[in-house]
Structure formats: C-alpha cells, structure tokens
Amino acid sequence: MTDKTRHNSKSETDIFEQFSDDERAGVREIWEKSANAEPPTPKITDLDIENALSTVHSYIDNTRLEDPYFHKKSKKNFLSWKWVAAAAVLLLIAGAGYLYIPKTITVPRGEITSVTLPDGSTVELNSDSKIEYNRLFDITNRHITLNGEAFFEVKRGEDHFIVSANNARVEVLGTKFNVRSWHNEPEQPTEVTVTEGAVHLYPAGLPDSSVIIHPGNLSSLSANMHKPTDPQPVSLGRITGWRNHRLIFNNQPLRVIFNELERRFNTTIQLEAKDVANETLTAFYNNPQNVGSVLKDICRIKGLQFSKTAHGYRVYK
C-alpha cells in the first residue's frame, strides 16, 4: 500500500465515523461517486472552488446566528452536518486533488500583514513569515502551520485551534497570543507568549507534556526538549513590539539579530567575522528607518566594521 493510499484510507475513515450507522451508507455512496466523477465541462476554475468553499463557510456562520437552538445541539450532530457540507464541496471538485494543496499566505520581507481566516480569527504576520492551512479550515478542523512570527486573535469555535511551528504545537479554543518560530533558526526555541486567555503548548505528538500559558507569560520549546519550559512573566511590549515596527533585541545572538534585520529591511547581511556570531546584544529601536543606522550602532558596540555591497552589507573585523 502506498503512502497516498494509506492517507486516503485514513481520511475516509475519519469522515465516515462522523455519521450514524443509518447515514453512513449514503455518505459512502456520495464519496465513491465523487472519486469516480469525470471533470466537469466547462472546467471549474480555482476561483469557482474558492467561491464554493466561501459559500459553505458563510452558511455555517449564518446557521450559528439564525438558529436559536444551534448552541443546544450536540457537537456530534454539528460535526456530521459539517462533513455533509464537505462532501458537497468534494463533489464539486472531484478528481482535481485541490484539497491536498494547502492555502498559503506569505508576507514579503519588509512588510507586516494581517489576514482573516475562514473562522473569523485574525493573524498578524511579521516580515518574511508564512502560514498554511487546509482549504476546509473550520469545516473539518482549525489547524494552521506557521514559519516565522505571528500574533493570533482566535475566535472561539467548536474545534480547537492548533498552530504547528517546528516541533511545537499550540492549542486553544479562543484567545490572543504571539508565536515566534523560524525554520531557518532551528537552534532557537519556539516562543509562545499569551496576552489574553490561555493556551496549551506541547511537543508534537506529546500533548500530555503540555504547559498552560496565562496572560503576561512566555514559554519556549526547543527541538530536543520533551516538555516546554515553565511559563515565566515577560514584558508584553518587548514581545509584541514588532507589531508597531519596533526592533527589540533582548540578549540575542548577533546571527539572530542579523537575520531579523534582513527580514525587516529586505536586505542581505554577510557576517564574515564568524567568531562573533554567538555574541549577544540587547538593544531597542522605536521605529528605525534604515538598516545602516542599526548596523552602525551594533558594529560600534561590538568593535566591528561594515560596508555596503551590491546586494546588501558585509560585517567584518
């Protein structure tokens, strides 16, 4: 059995288990017909599919608002209804494999962007950050993958909101929190800070090893750790200062600082003095307008020099 076959079997099992014995046969018939369906004519475009998904999300939202008994219904019945909606969308896009392509949002260097997710939650993304999520987000789950730094304002929902970032998993129902986790800095821990509510942080696959983070506290998780650090009080202004275009480095290695400057100012910094890469520095800039002034300060403090190149800057002794 191939990996793809195993994946499909697991997906089908997950879907069919949402229904009662009486409903299961009919849903399986719909599923099998969708798998064998011929691509429609005229060809359905990506925009058509996005509009169909948007319609399903809107219908779910309207049901929540208009049905006075909605919140009294069992979660099982609501999940079954959501799977019926998902099956309807699958019929539309049968054979396209479109659902296996995640929705991806990438923020260019030098920019900060806010996006609204299908469940109404918002994500503010720092420069050069990326999120990915399933195209049936808020229908089948509320899972999202992050590479970079983001501030989440999560609306309460039926499903837990889960952020995957390197080896870390952040799980909530509804709250506000900041996550910092860069793929190109694997030696740096994933950091989670809460400003409102509470979140669970745990290593991937080890939910029993979670810690609960409350407002004003930070916990971190490195790749080789089996449990996050105990939450500690932290200055929220220092953690979320990037949202106001501030640069705040608290005892950070120079290599991490230069990575941050590259993302913020959309430039390249070549550190030729490798022996100082792990030296740390604490600095604060309210709203720096150019990378040159920041480099000038860093080099003066650390006894380094820098010069401009065709593609950015070089730092040397």
CATH topology of domain 103-237: Jelly Rolls (2.60.120)
CATH of domain 245-316: 3.55.50.30
Please give the Cα distance from 119 to 158 (Å, whole number).
Answer: 10
Q: Which residues contact 133 (CB under 8 A, 6 or more apart)?
A: 102, 103, 117, 143, 144, 145
> Average model confidence (pLDDT) for the chain?
82
Judging by beta carbons within 10 Å of its beta carbon (0-12, 13-18, 19+), is residue 193 exposed, middle or buried? buried
- Residues 156-168, mean pLDDT to the nearest whole number: 93
pLDDT, tens digit (0-9, with 9 covering 90-100), for 179-215: 999 998 888 999 999 999 999 999 999 999 999 999 9
pTM, to two decimals: 0.75
Q: Which residue has the tokens 């992050």?
A: 146
Annotated domain spans of the chain: 3-100, 103-237, 245-316
pLDDT, tens digit (0-9, with 9 covering 90-100), for 50-91: 666 666 556 555 555 555 544 444 444 544 555 555 555 555
Q: CB-side exposure of 286: number of CA atoms within 13 Å?
A: 0
pLDDT, tens digit (0-9, with 9 covering 90-100), for 14-58: 555 555 565 566 556 655 655 554 544 445 566 665 666 666 556
Please give the Cα distance from 195 to 237 (Å, whole number).
Answer: 10
